[in-house]
Structure 1
Amino acid sequence: MNNRRGYLPSYGGTPQRLPQQIVQRGPLQNQQQQQQWLRRDQVEEEKRVTSEDAASSSQDWKAQLKIPPKDSRYKTEDVTATKGNEFEDYFLKRELLMGIYEKGFERPSPIQEESIPIALTGSDILARAKNGTGKTAAFCIPALEKIDQNNNVIQVIILVPTRELALQTAQVCKELGKHLKIQIMVTTGGTSLKDDIMRLYQPVHLLVGTPGRVLDLAKKGICNLKDCTMLVMDEADKLLSQEFQPSVEQLIGFLPPNRQILLFSATFPVTVKEFKDKFLRKSYIINLMDELTLKGITQYYAFVEERQKVHCLNTLFSKLQINQSIIFCNSVNRVELLAKKITELGYSCFYIHAKMLQSHRNRVFHDFRNGACRNLVCSDLFTRGIDIQAVNVVINFDFPRNSETYLHRVGRSGRFGHLGLAVNLITYEDRFSLYRIEQELGTEIKPIPPQIDQAIYCK
């Protein structure tokens, strides 16, 4: 059958004429069709380019980072004995990963490997790990990950026992979260309450502070904690001492029922069990403490009379390769007197203790951290969590009275698996304390040799 253009065969075999507007396409229809094709081609091209950009950006974002020089110092298995996880394994926000790598973190330390994934599930944690093994990042990273930056309410509180540790912890949070739009505030006693009140009128997502000040702001109704779903307690053993525990427990009463509590410390007192049973629900217990002292710290004692101590210290300064040192005394008066003696001997020296003005303490802490001075004399105020990587020598000018204080003092050197040296000046009265602390910590404090090999604390 002749089926010319414009006709279709009918069932009866008679040709039927199609409607004219369907049969003949005018210039307008052709133009519209071409435009549709062009649009479709453009959309497909845009999709292809976008997917290629996404693929390349997923590979290139790391290359754009300002990563600090690699730390080539020797590290002990306190931080190297990991399962081999990477930070990217935890599905963290890209912006948070950028902050982690730009802070110089390469891969998680053992305490970070154990804590981060559990904290991200919302579970309570009781974590025990040595000083200087990365505990701060172990709770800061999940805290920053879980904050909704579009919700301008306090979502995380980090409690610490001292003002210096509050400033340091907030600084770590700011550095890790520098690519996130998260507002971080520090509040501690000894600073202007009015300034804190004014600051809380602005958005705050993460609050770092000491228990008394945070509780004071909560009681006044200025610090609204009804949306705060995570409470972190760093140096938890100190926060559960008689000095702080009542404030901490009152503060928990201001949090919502679905709050998550994370406790981190190197040592835990007996009181922690009662606290855990009362406030933590199905908590995970992480214990990475097969031994208490850091593997990288070599410990010596020098047997001296009280009147020989300054002379002995002078000898140590002349013989040791000190990058930075922290020297501990048992009282505020002795801190100032010793700092004066060290300066008279011709060595650069700062001092810090609890009776100084907060602004002065902040200045000393900041300058010492930035390397403005080689030696710092201090009281036990400075034993908690203070992380100054350059410190490779700790000297107990006065021997501490208990093993817990000793552990925290010597933990100021050998940070993050590096090598360090602890030298203890022991008098006749200290000999029993030395023996007791060795037994309680399961460690050995050896007599100081005439020459100390630099390789054991400078590698």
Structure 2
Amino acid sequence: MSGFSSLEINKKLISAVRDMGWKEPTPIQRESVPEGLLGRDLFGEAQTGTGKTGAYALISLGRVKAGSQLPSVIVLTPTRELALQVSNEFRDLCKYSGHRVTAIYGGASYGTQIKTLENGCDVVIGTPGRILDLHGKEILNLSAIKELVIDEADRMLDMGFIEDIEKIIGLTPEDRQTLMFSATLSDDIRSLAKKSMKDPMEISVSHDTPATDLVKQYYIETPRSKKVDILRDIMANGNPKMLIFCSTKTMVDDLYDGFSKEGMKIGAIHGDMPQLRREKTVKGFRNNRMKVLVATDVAARGLDIDDIECVVNYDAPVDPETYTHRIGRAGRAGRTGVSITFISNREDRRIPSYEEFMGMKVERVTRKQIPRLRIDNPELKALHADEIIKEQPQVSHRKKVDATATKDVVIKADMVVLSLNIGKSSGVTRTDIVSFVAGCASIPEDSIGRVGLSAKGSFVEVEASRADDIIKAVNSARFNGKRVKAGYAPQKERCKDKLAKNQ
């Protein structure tokens, strides 16, 4: 731990860093933390994956005492997902210090957030709109703020938050410390920094991302029809924790539906999914309740998880900067990672563009070489050795993923699957199904599990204890004028049960 000890952070934070598995500080942490602990304003050019969250968390937690009634630290983020991820990292770092952390953002219940603030907290992390909303209701008091952090400032300006940010800055004490981070340094960003900061130290590590040093990059030339089979080969090599990028929501759904039907514990996120469902999925992936997450670029923006072992570009991105951001999800916190990109015949010019942008080579491999690649990370396996992680079921290399839902749906122990007589032919989406069922039965959307769609029907995973009430509520409702019929879906016979019968 001599690496983090050299940053002059206190023993409680060092202990938390050790428990998180961090070995050495990243460049932005080495440059910013010692100066930040002295109270200097900092202006950092840093992309996701450079360790910037850890940098400003170590600074702010190292400078404020725990146990305050009014918040001492406020962190502004552009999205709800990022607010949750930042709050999780803060909580991990607060393991021994006793700081209380809360995330506040739109689209969630006021009640819990208000209660937390009224009970007192040290760190508030949230989106500008909800922060101003709760301040306007005289629930959030910013008069005791000592540390103001503005994360992903460029994204917040792009999203039109400049006026909200300036209002929040004006509500905090003038003698605060301000830490601002942005992936780019536009004139608008510099103008905001000039108005809100005092003689800031400028740090730039925007291009010093984990992709350049810590991620071993491969690509495989393959027709689209073979991609799923190759993906299975990668999954079978050490059972790595894997993030799979697709270019469309439909492709995300296809992979999720197909592998889910085979019994694999897999997650998926894209923009059409309800917010609460996305949050629940990301939390499950972070906590290793699932080892595979399929996502679009938009849904994965701000996703900051340190223990991803492998990134698969199922669809190769056109933009080399997007490629760099994607593969940078592996190789976090000083650990090595692997990226594998599928390239079709018409995409053969993309690899040279990636290489030119990064100034390094991407190695070509064949499918036969996959079993010989080291994809999983032994260090991460050892780090999670004490956690209860259910291994993925063996997935046949011959069986094709079919995204068409059928009535043979896997039922989990505490969940049951219901069938509804509305499907794609009724113009329904998964989001529509979730909203419809939740509305009919007066249950929260995040209590609903997986949703499958076929042409004429849909299948919804719900809590077993509520199933009868949900069926009754749905059967008395209509969707777009059509009377809906709901009932229990037949349970799929598991492979091991079939084998037992044949013995």
TM-score, structure 1 as length reference? 0.71
Q: State the match for 2:217 in structure 1.
A: 299
Is the aligned partner of 1:334 residue 2:269? no
Contact 2:50 2:208 (C-alpha < 8 Å) held by counterparts: no
Contact 1:291 1:442 (C-alpha < 8 Å) held by counterparts: no
Residue 100 (structure 1) shift = 4.0
Alignment coverage as a number of residue pairs: 374
Q: State the match for 2:64 in structure 1.
A: 147
Distance in structure 2 (CA, Å) of the matches to 1:169 and 1:353 = 20
Q: State the match for 1:251 in structure 2.
A: 168
Distance in structure 2 (CA, Å) of the matches to 1:91 and 1:296 = 25
Distance in structure 1 (CA, Å) of the matches to 2:285 and 2:9 = 37
Contact 2:71 2:145 (C-alpha < 8 Å) held by counterparts: yes
Of residues 322, 327, 330 in structure 2, which corresponds to 1:410?
Answer: 327
> 1:208-233 CA deviation, whole Å, 9 max, x = no partner?
11233223223443322122232213
Q: Secondary structure at the match of 1:363?
A: helix
Moved more, 110-119 or 429-438: 429-438
Residues 155, 403 of structure 1: CA spacing in aligned structure 2 closer, same or farther, 3 A cutoff? farther
> 1:346-383 CA deviation, whole Å, 9 max, x = no partner?
64422123333333333322322232323211122224
In angstroms, what is the RMSD of aligned CA positions?
A: 3.1
Q: State the match for 2:501 in structure 1.
A: none
Distance in structure 2 (CA, Å) of the matches to 1:448 and 1:379 = 25
Q: State the match for 1:39 in structure 2.
A: none
Contact 1:419 1:457 (C-alpha < 8 Å) held by counterparts: no
Contact 2:67 2:121 (C-alpha < 8 Å) held by counterparts: no
Residue 433 (structure 1) shift = 5.0
Residue 86 (structure 1) shift = 4.7
Residues 239, 441 of structure 1: CA spacing in aligned structure 2 closer, same or farther, 3 A cutoff? farther
Q: State the match for 1:182 in structure 2.
A: 99
Q: State the match for 2:194 in structure 1.
A: 277
Contact 2:311 2:329 (C-alpha < 8 Å) held by counterparts: yes
- Which structure would you say has the larger RCO, counting Cα contacts within 8 Å and 6 or more residues apart? 1
Distance in structure 1 (CA, Å) of the matches to 2:20 and 2:376 = 24
Is the aligned partner of 1:369 residue 2:302? no
Is the aligned partner of 1:442 residue 2:324? no
Contact 2:22 2:333 (C-alpha < 8 Å) held by counterparts: no
Unaligned 5+ runs, structure 1: 1-69, 71-83
Residues 336, 174 of structure 1: CA spacing in aligned structure 2 closer, same or farther, 3 A cutoff? same
Distance in structure 2 (CA, Å) of the matches to 1:179 and 1:291 = 31
Q: State the match for 2:75 in structure 1.
A: 158
> 1:238-288 CA deviation, whole Å, 9 max, x = no partner?
334235444333332322223322123555556433333343332111224
Q: State the match for 1:37 in structure 2.
A: none
Q: State the match for 1:387 in structure 2.
A: 305
Residues 86, 127 of structure 1: CA spacing in aligned structure 2 closer, same or farther, 3 A cutoff? same
Is the aligned partner of 1:112 residue 2:29? yes
Distance in structure 2 (CA, Å) of the matches to 1:107 and 1:305 = 41
Identity of aligned residues (%): 31
Of residues 359, 362, 373 in structure 2, which corresponds to 1:454?
Answer: 373
Larger radius of gyration: 1
Q: State the match for 2:149 in structure 1.
A: 232
Q: Secondary structure at the match of 2:118?
A: coil
Contact 2:311 2:338 (C-alpha < 8 Å) held by counterparts: yes
TM-score, structure 2 as length reference? 0.65
Paired residues for 1:12-27 under 5 Å? none
Is the aligned partner of 1:136 residue 2:57? no
Residues 409, 145 of structure 1: CA spacing in aligned structure 2 closer, same or farther, 3 A cutoff? same
Distance in structure 1 (CA, Å) of the matches to 2:185 and 2:148 = 18
Distance in structure 2 (CA, Å) of the matches to 1:102 and 1:445 = 33
Contact 2:7 2:30 (C-alpha < 8 Å) held by counterparts: no
Contact 1:298 1:457 (C-alpha < 8 Å) held by counterparts: no
Distance in structure 2 (CA, Å) of the matches to 1:441 and 1:405 = 12
Aligned-partner residue type, residue 310 of structure 1: V
> 1:132-160 CA deviation, whole Å, 9 max, x = no partner?
45332211122112223354222211123
Of residues 79, 84, 96 in structure 2, which corresponds to 1:167?
Answer: 84
Moved more, 237-246 or 366-375: 237-246
Aligned-partner residue type, residue 303 of structure 1: E
Distance in structure 1 (CA, Å) of the matches to 2:9 and 2:153 = 28
Q: State the match for 1:199 in structure 2.
A: 116
Q: Secondary structure at the match of 2:135?
A: helix
Of residues 185, 203, 227 in structure 2, which corresponds to 1:309?
Answer: 227
Q: State the match for 1:54 in structure 2.
A: none
Q: Secondary structure at the match of 2:158?
A: coil
> 1:97-128 CA deviation, whole Å, 9 max, x = no partner?
44444444556443322111211222221224
Distance in structure 1 (CA, Å) of the matches to 2:137 and 2:333 = 40
Q: State the match for 2:421 in structure 1.
A: none
Distance in structure 1 (CA, Å) of the matches to 2:33 and 2:84 = 22
Distance in structure 2 (CA, Å) of the matches to 1:102 and 1:317 = 27
Unaligned 5+ runs, structure 2: 379-503
Distance in structure 1 (CA, Å) of the matches to 2:145 and 2:3 = 30
Contact 1:166 1:209 (C-alpha < 8 Å) held by counterparts: yes
